Amino acid sequence: MITPGYTSVWTLAKKAARQLGHPVLTSEHLFYACLRLHNQRYWDLARRLPVTAKSVWAHLKESPPFSEPSEDFGTVKLGVSAKAALDRAEIEAGNQDHPIMGTNGLMRALLEEKDGPVHSLLEAVQSTTCKSTHEDAN
């Protein structure tokens, strides 16, 4: 079963990629859509993240995602990073007693990314944050 929130994330991600003129929908578009859909202050999975929907949107706008292999998925080219995140979310849902594809599972899948746009973004932001904190301490 797919939740309405999961469907909304998919719709928001496709809209964002189109609006930005990006030829491929990546995990970063899905990440942006998850953050946009939820109020981070009340969402445990996102509350302590060093980014917001607004900052991810700005990053997507300033730095279009690197080209990544993709496949046609209906009316959108789905990048390997987005496909991998969706697959991880589906596997997680399948491992539950009541398999539900929701935004919590998708967000966990995005945060588990080992190599891809979301991982790179979070690593860069955390590196910048740690560097500025270290410089402020000196």
Please report the DSSP string for 67-93 in residue order: P--EEEETTEEEEHHHHHHHHHHHHHH
Is-contact 79 14, C-beta < 8 A?
Answer: no
Rounded distance, CA 50 to CA 1, Å? 31
Q: What range does the domain containing 41 cover?
A: 4-137
Lowest mean pLDDT among 6-15, 45-54, 58-67, 86-95: 58-67
CATH of the domain at 106: 1.10.1780.10
Each residue's pLDDT tens digit, 49-79: 999 999 999 999 998 777 789 999 988 999 9
Q: Rounded to whole angstroms, how far apart are CA atoms 4 and 17?
A: 20
- The mean per-residue pLDDT over the stretch 94-102 comes to 83
Average pLDDT on 91-108 reads: 87
Report the number of distinct structural domains present in the chain.
1
What span, in angstroms and rounded, lies between the C-alpha atoms of 25 and 72?
Answer: 10
Q: Is the pTM of this model over 0.85?
A: yes
Q: What is the mean pLDDT of residues 114-133?
A: 80
Asked whether the predicted pLDDT for residue 135 surpasses 50, the reply is no
